[in-house]
Structure 1
């Protein structure tokens, strides 16, 4: 087994969510790499406000400063934290987040995609963050979910079944070429939600795992990627909120 790790950093305090992401990543990468996960020690169980985003960024900075061991790549398991460039610049290892993985996958499929995310103030927060990164064009809508009557982390398959109706409604409303599930809570649910949905459904976490694998293959054949530099680089040009 390799002596290097993938490290998943969860910006909220939900250790169950961290464990789910680690489980999915371990199954994806197999035995070649160990996958570790750490959760924020302070902040919110579920990030829904700008203030909680700021708390999450502070928590991630603390996690980066305490990270130990040989880390091959870090995955920030949060969709749309502000100041990602600053977090990447502080990281002692290459750091990739779910926005990069999810948006990259969506834009490979279509020039018109829509995002489903959790509730709170995420639609406006995502719009600002995607605009800041130069990723606002191409996204034709951002749909936030209402407060659920069940625990989505404890019941992911129930969440997948519940998601089909809002995803279908979003497709009817804005006619996207793909729907991106933007959030760690949707990790691994793309295929389950896809059943009966007319356009591709992408979960950002699974797409990020695929991106990590692709970038490492590029590195192995001698192709450079700014995403795998320690300092990183701002994502290139590319969601207009409906």
Structure 2
């Protein structure tokens, strides 16, 4: 139950890049991006969005012993901003979030609220190829929750908003069954092949590992057994194995 989670997270990250107030500073699973190091500096040097997959659960049980269902997956989108992320206006010498917007608590909240709206718009953009791939991996949005935190530590003011989306995700492909070109993961792999490998060499290794996990060639019996978690004795009892069959 992991390949779809990986694809969901990557698609969400790529769908948001360049489409919100944080620009390309969309992070994959940087949960502690607002944490301070011992010298008081932050891990992220500018406003950010961090995307990560959290809990997942099945509400209607499994099919026999199958673990290919993805069920409901919690996707978290955390947007954060802090005083070290501010800049100085060259004209007014005023500390601002961006030109013309002073670095006040109210404007921190404005920045985060607007960023959250931009996240929603980016994920629903039919002209955004990564958002379309994201939608293909999701059969529905089941729940949406918003929360916020703020604080002032050693003179560093910070604020963050979190959007938690609970989505119903498509099932994992069965190991050894070739993916059809129209399968959401097949389309995801094709997009990664086209976009990532030129600018993110490490992603090529990750995608290769994902593909290897579902590679192989099943006969119909093996495919059915893997899909439903059936052992050979059960397959015999269900008259699924041919006469004289030995594994």
TM-score, normalised via structure 1 length: 0.23
Q: Point out the structure with max Rg over C-alpha.
A: 2
Higher relative contact order (CA 8 A, sep 6+): 1
Query: Would you tell me which structure has more strand in proportion to its own residues?
Result: 2
Query: Would you tell me which structure has more helix in proportion to its own residues?
Result: 1
